[in-house]
Amino acid sequence: MPESTVSFNRHRCDFAVFPQECVASVIHSGQFLPLFLHVEFAATCSMTNARCPISNDVSRAADILRSGGLVAFGTETVYGLGANALNEQAVARVFEAKDRPHFDPLIVHIADRKWLDRLAEQLSPAAKLLADEFWPGPLTLVLPKKEIVPDLVTSGLPSVAIRMPNHPLALELLTLVDLPIAAPSANPFGKISPTTAQHVLDNLGDRIDFILDGGPCDVGVESTVVLMTEDRPRILRHGGVTQEQLEAVIGPVEFHSSEFNEEISNSDSHAVAGDASQGTPSGAVAPGMLAQHYSPTTPLVLASEASDASVSGKRVGLLRLSKSSTVGDDFPELAAVETLSDDGDLRIAAAEFFAALRRLDSSGLDLILAESFPEEGLGRALNDRLRRACHQ
């Protein structure tokens, strides 16, 4: 048989594992015979690109999510790193891109209440009241899950965390893709949360497929997480909806003790993680619950706990609530100061918190001092972030 020459040409795939049509050019006895083959290629750019694309093209973002890719997108709280919550391979890539331990579950984002019925069951009257009042908005409800939700999303727990973001571009994306999207914060695990597209690009731009630029986040801290699987609702994490707002709708709400999360954070992750594939309910009880989280690279301590000896000879920065704060008076040789609000407005402070912490972290400091916030309203959420960021 005369020798034949075969050459392959495949279309480039910029995201996920995606079916591609390949053309095999076969030259046999001087004739050109095109053969069309259907082959699946693994994505080449997801973890190797120097920079992923960034734009406000919602259609492109939806296509990538449907195909198993990773899309970071802005919400009112922080930027999330999204993947199709019903696609375990896509969800696994979220954990890989963030270096996130598998015992830390993910929040599922929806734009239509129909998905609430498909993903969760046994909605209590209180859960319905909270969803009616605060969705779309910075509130996550932890509910009994249905079998459709992969165990990888919930870290093997029998409950799933669900929220509906209050951001026009995020809602447009979720409506267009028409899938539940698992989306933790779009940052390396445990580090400062991103509140702009540039933050995501700086930290994960070589690990993900696309960034949907929704502008700066308005709320600036993550959603409030409320456990709805018990007789009385419990706040697991303070966030963008305050305890006072919750209690105005459903009455007294308990707050979850952090002792369990301290134990998880200080243990060997392999010992506490369990096997999500087998549904072992061990690890964090909800997303964002570990004692160490939101941490800058620069050591961070509360200003009230700092001493002259701890700052002596160091380049020190200060994170303060307002211009009238006196917390920095005891440390006159500050190299950098970030003021979150002119007049102490906690809403403005929350929106600026993570961006200000990033600026201090990139200022070549040896130490960051932080002023505590009033333990009320959004101040509880900000103090929660400070305590976790200080935990070393």
The 10s digit of each residue's pLDDT in 240-257 is 999 999 999 999 999 875
Burial class of 104 by CB neighbour count within 10 A (0 to 12, 13 to 18, 19+) = buried
54-278 has CATH 3.90.870.10 classification: yes
List the chain domain ranges: 5-41, 54-278, 300-390
- Positive or negative, the CA dihedral 100, 151, 224, 78 is positive
What phi, psi does 107 have (nearest 5°)? -90, 135
Looking at domain 300-390, its CATH architecture is: 3-Layer(aba) Sandwich (3.40)
Work out the pLDDT band at 390, boundaries 50, 70, 90: confident
CA distance 63 to 47: 19
State pLDDT tens for residues 161-185: 999 999 999 999 999 999 999 999 9
CA distance 296 to 381: 17
State pLDDT tens for residues 280-338: 334 566 666 565 567 899 999 999 998 888 888 999 999 999 999 988 787 878 999 99
Number of residues that make up the chain = 392
Residue labelled with tokens 């009455």: 251
What phi, psi does 115 have (nearest 5°)? -70, -25
Work out the pLDDT band at 112, boundaries 50, 70, 90: very high
What phi, psi does 129 have (nearest 5°)? -60, -45
CA distance 294 to 350: 14
Q: Is 110 helix (H, G, I), strand (E, B) or coil?
A: coil
Contacting residues for 90 by C-beta, under 8 A, at least 6 apart: 16, 65, 68, 69, 70, 83, 84
